[in-house]
Amino acid sequence: MASSPQSPAASPLFLREEEIRRGIELLHFGHAALARAADAVLAQHDLGRAHQRALYFIGRQPDMSVSALLQLLAVTKQSLGRVLDDLTARGLVQTSPGTRDRRQRLLRLTAAGEAIEAALFVAMRERMAAGYSAAGQGSVTGFWRVLENLLDAEDQRMVAALQISQRR
């Protein structure tokens, strides 16, 4: 990745419109850069970004229920249904009934789904690692805090639950 010009330090008046607009612009372009990093892998498998998000979160929490994924992705049932039907038909996701409630559908990546999710992660990891490395540990912590504080309380709980489930 090419070296970028040094970003100016935030003004002591960091809540002014100019500073807030810069943050919004950087979020937009940063998200677009991460998405582009994954595009080649997605194109190779004829998948879209909705597929990528589903694969990512199912991979992070095997045996996640469809309702939990709906809540995480904040999409309609119809929209998620199309994505899950496609991923299942392609043999990337498998469903099983819940252990306590047989009506519940639990989601898990197949070996093929895990391979694609891993390839997508590698593509994005390289961009994130380069950005983290250039910014330094303190900046990474600050970045996380800013992003966490953009979230409402319910979304903060969902993010915290993802972290807890990964420590198990």
* Alpha-helical runs (H) found in 3-136: 17-44, 49-60, 66-73, 77-89, 111-135
Together in a domain, 106 and 35: yes
Together in a domain, 21 and 104: yes
Would residue 129 count as lying in a domain?
no
CATH number at residue 62: 1.10.10.10
Task: Tell which wins on pLDDT, 17 or 54.
Answer: 54
pLDDT, one tens digit per residue, over 35-51 is 999 999 999 999 999 99
Split into its structural domains, the chain has a count of 2
19 pLDDT tier (thresholds 50, 70, 90): confident
- Evaluate if residue 101 carries a pLDDT over 90: no
Together in a domain, 165 and 103: no
Together in a domain, 39 and 70: yes
Would residue 40 count as lying in a domain?
yes
Lowest-confidence range among 64-68, 151-155, 164-168? 164-168
- Evaluate if residue 86 carries a pLDDT over 90: yes
CA dist., res. 131 & res. 109, Å (int): 29
Domain of residue 156 covers 136-168
Q: How far is CA 107 from the centre of its chain?
A: 17
Together in a domain, 166 and 102: no
Q: What is the pLDDT of residue 15?
A: 80
- Evaluate if residue 5 carries a pLDDT over 70: no
Task: Tell which wins on pLDDT, 5 or 135.
Answer: 135
State the CB neighbour count (10 A cutoff) for residue 146.
11
Together in a domain, 93 and 59: yes
Together in a domain, 112 and 156: no
Q: What is the pLDDT of residue 2?
A: 52
Q: What is the mean pLDDT of the chain?
A: 90
